[in-house]
Structures are given as C-alpha cells and as structure tokens.
C-alpha cells in the first residue's frame, strides 16, 4: 500500500524486475541455433514521463516540497528532451496515429515516449542499461516503462508478442505487469492453412451473394425492411463480416512488409505489438459476430409453437417486469453507491463504482469475501451485507 520509491530506488527495482528479461536477452544471441522460440529483432524499452509541477501543492507544504509530479495524463506528459546526447532515449518520439494506447492498472498511456533498443549481445545490453542508470534515465517524473519484444515459434507457427510494464504511480512504489499476445500472424503455411484460405474465399463469395440478396430486399420492402429487428441484426452481421475481411487482407500485407524489413536488418525493433493488438480486436469482433449468428437461429425457429407461446406470455407481462426491474435497479444502485462510499479505500472489490456493481452481482451468486467487508467497517460492513442479501433473496425472489 505505502511503498516509498525514489530515483535511485527505482533503478534498483528496475533491475530486480529485469532478470526475467535478461534471461531472454541472453538467449537471444543464440536464438538462431538452438532454441524453440526465435527472438525477432531486438528488445525495445520505452518510458513516459510527466512534467514537474503538474499538480498543485498546498501552501503550507511549499517549504518542504518543491517538486510535484501528478498522475499520468496526456496533458501532463513531459515531452521535452533531457539528460545528455540527442539519441532517441533522451528525445521524445511522438506516438504514431494508429498505434493503440495502453490501458495499465493506474493509467491509460499514449504510445509515444522516450525509447531505445537494446543491442543484440548480452554484455552490450548490460552496459547500456548501466550507462542509463548512472545518468538517471529514470527520474521522479517517470510514470511507466514498457519493455517490448516478440518471439516466433516455428514448430506451431505462432508469434508471441510480449510487453512487460512497470508503472510508477504518483503515490510511489512500482507495479509490474505483463501483457502477452499469442497470435498467428503468418497464415497459409501448412496444407490445412490453405484449406482454411479456401474456406475464407468461399465465405467471401457467400457474403457477396448475401449482400446482393439484402440489397434486393431493401429495394423491395423499402422502409418496412428497417422495422424488423432481425433485418438490423443481419445488416450488422454483414458489416462486421466485411470489416473482418478487409482487416484480414491488411494484416497479411502488413506482416509480410514487416517480415521483409526484419529480414534485411535484424537490429530493428519490429512493431508487432500494434498488429497483435488489432488481431485480438479482430478476434473479439469475430466472436461477437458468431454470437449474433447463433441468436439468428431463433429467427427460423420462431414458427415453433412453444416459442410463440412463450414470447406472447413475455410480452404480456413485460410492463410488470419492467416496473419490477426498475425498482430492483434503484435499490441495487443505492446499495452499490453505499458500498462504494463506505468501502472504497479499504476493499479492492469496491474500489470503483463499476467494481461495486460487479461485486454485488458476485455476492448474489455466492462469490464474496465477507472477511474483507467486515474488516473494512465492523458495523456498517455486516449491516450492508445482510440487508443486501435479504433484499435480493427474500423480497425480490
């Protein structure tokens, strides 16, 4: 909770955190020979800083405290050069427009920053890091450090894009986390992949015919077409499919482009993170698409008698259910508000308002930590818990 962190200390932490990376750095030199996983290009390290005096110190403390570095916000970012030299590690590199921001545990970071790449050999890497440490590359204003690298496993044809993150919140201390994307960027390698490629082409053709079909229907029915929720669903499915196809083509091109660059010069950091990010987003999109496709099945089974009966019953008592749900949610949010205000600073599960809502859902399902609630507030904790359970179970159910 309360860890003290200062300039030199940060470096210590930084070094402690390093080992699991140095191991891989070590291995990277011989990666062409023996390892199952091949390190692609080099490791890139990037930091983001905030400006001094980005927060206001109360007048009575001004004699003690001269500096004040706020939390990371885009506006408070320190973009000025510092330290020695004019190399990229001392100069701010602005973020490229398309690269995604990173959502850390205490902030939402831009993709620019002070960045440099580690050389290929282990000794040189250590020397470089030592040099940066002596010249205090990490300062009190540093808010986050990213360590990015990618590996490729030929056996199973998967890229692994790894990002190690060390966040330095304004309260002091350091939070380490890691982000690993395992994605298949190089498609069309084995026979099975070519079969998949064939399926994709068939799918494209199917989408084209489907679009024509829908366009005809729209022309025919005009406004009536847009009244049915099923048709809207179909349009959404189509749109997502088209975007997916477009991304698929773009991804293939981009990867081959990056690969070419990497093959010509292996001292360059290949920005696969950016591609992996979009690949994951693309997967999510596909997932939602498939989910709605499942729901579409209902369109064709509605003729079923049981269904009609059920939906009729539902629509008849819809009014009551809505009134009831309205009432339920007023009380539910009242409790969430109460939990938020009382337990906010003590219990992890109540630290933000959405978390409170999730926590209350989990209480309903029987997954909760009563001890923590009780420890946070000996009187209000149990009262909150028991009245909430009573409310949910005994009145509404």
Q: Which of 117, 125, 151, 241 lies at the binding interface for a second copy (CB under 8 A)?
A: 151
Q: Distances from the Cα of 3 to the Cαs of 108, 143, 169, 170, in angstroms?
A: 22, 15, 10, 11
Using the rule CB under 8 A, is 329 a contact of a second copy?
no
Return the residue matching tokens 């989910």.
291
Q: Is 1 in the site for a second copy (CB under 8 A)?
A: yes
Q: Which of residues 244-303 bind a second copy (CB under 8 A)?
A: 256, 259-260, 263, 283-284, 286-288, 290-291, 294-295, 297-298, 301
Task: Select the span of 89-97, 110-118, 220-228, 325-333 touching a second copy (CB under 8 A).
Answer: 325-333
Q: Closer to a second copy at the Cβ: 175 or 186? A: 186
| Buried-state track 179-212, b at ≥16 Cβ within 10 A, e below 16 | bebebebbbeeeeeeeeeeeeeeeeeeebeeeee
Q: What is the DSSP string of 188-206?
A: S-SHHHHHHHHHHHHHHHH
- Considering beta carbons, is residue 121 or 337 the nearer one to a second copy? 337
Cβ 153 vs Cβ 36: under 8 Å: yes
Smaller CB distance to a second copy: residue 116 or 150? 150
- Please list every residue from 300 through 319 that binds a second copy, using CB under 8 A: 301, 304-307, 309-310, 319
Site string for a second copy, 362-381 (x = CB under 8 A): xxxxxxx-x---x--xx-x-
Rounded CA separation 81/252 (Å): 37
Dihedral sign, Cα of residue 249, residue 255, residue 258, residue 260: negative
For the segment 53-82, give every residue that binds a second copy (CB under 8 A).
Answer: 55-58, 60-61, 63-65, 68-71
Site for a second copy in 191-250 (CB under 8 A): none
Residue 155 as a binder of a second copy (CB under 8 A): the answer is: yes
**Rounded CA gap, 60 and 197, in Å?**
69
79: which strand partners?
A: none
Number of residues that bind a second copy (CB under 8 A): 107
Q: Considering beta carbons, is residue 86 or 264 the nearer one to a second copy?
A: 264
Q: Which is nearer to a second copy, 219 or 263 (CB)?
A: 263
Residue 62 and residue 66: Cα distance in Å, rounded?
6
């Amino acid at each position: 909770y309360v860890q003290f962190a200062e300039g030199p200390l940060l470096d210590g932490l930084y070094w402690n955190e390093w080992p699991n990376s140095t191991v891989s750095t070590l291995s990277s030199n011989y990666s062409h020979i023996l390892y199952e996983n091949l390190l692609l290009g080099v490791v890139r390290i990037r930091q983001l800083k905030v400006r001094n005096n980005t927060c206001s110190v109360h007048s009575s403390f001004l004699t003690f405290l001269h500096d004040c570095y706020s939390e990371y916000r885009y506006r408070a970012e320190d973009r000025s050069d510092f330290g020695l030299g004019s190399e990229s590690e001392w100069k701010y590199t602005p973020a490229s427009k398309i690269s995604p921001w990173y959502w850390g545990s205490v902030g939402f970071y831009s993709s620019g920053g002070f960045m440099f790449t580690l050389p290929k050999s282990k000794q040189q890497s250590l020397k470089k890091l030592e040099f940066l440490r002596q010249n205090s590359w990490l300062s009190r204003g540093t808010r986050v450090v990213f360590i990015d690298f990618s590996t490729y496993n030929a056996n199973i044809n998967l890229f692994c894009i790894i990002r190690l993150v060390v966040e330095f919140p304004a309260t002091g201390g350091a939070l380490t986390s890691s982000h690993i994307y395992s994605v298949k960027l190089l498609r069309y390698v084995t026979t099975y992949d070519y079969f998949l490629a064939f399926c994709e082409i068939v799918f494209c053709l199917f989408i084209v015919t489907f679009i024509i079909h829908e366009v005809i229907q729209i022309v025919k029915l005009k406004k009536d077409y847009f009244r049915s929720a099923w048709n809207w669903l179909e349009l959404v499915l189509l749109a997502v499919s088209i975007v997916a196809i477009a991304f698929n083509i773009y991804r293939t091109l981009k990867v081959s482009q990056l690969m070419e660059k990497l093959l010509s010069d292996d001292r360059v950091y290949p920005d696969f993170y950016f591609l992996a990010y979009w690949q994951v987003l693309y997967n999510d999109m596909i997932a939602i698409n498939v989910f709605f496709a499942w729901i579409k099945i209902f369109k064709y089974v509605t003729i079923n008698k049981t269904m009609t009966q059920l939906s009729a019953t539902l629509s008849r008592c819809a009014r009551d259910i809505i009134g009831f749900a309205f009432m339920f949610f007023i009380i539910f949010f009242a409790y969430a508000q109460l939990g938020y205000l009382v337990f906010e600073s003590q219990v992890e599960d109540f630290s933000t308002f959405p978390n409170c809502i999730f926590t209350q859902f989990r209480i309903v399902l029987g997954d909760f930590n009563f001890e923590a609630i009780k420890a946070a507030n000996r009187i209000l904790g149990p009262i909150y818990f028991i009245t909430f359970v009573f409310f949910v179970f005994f009145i509404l159910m």
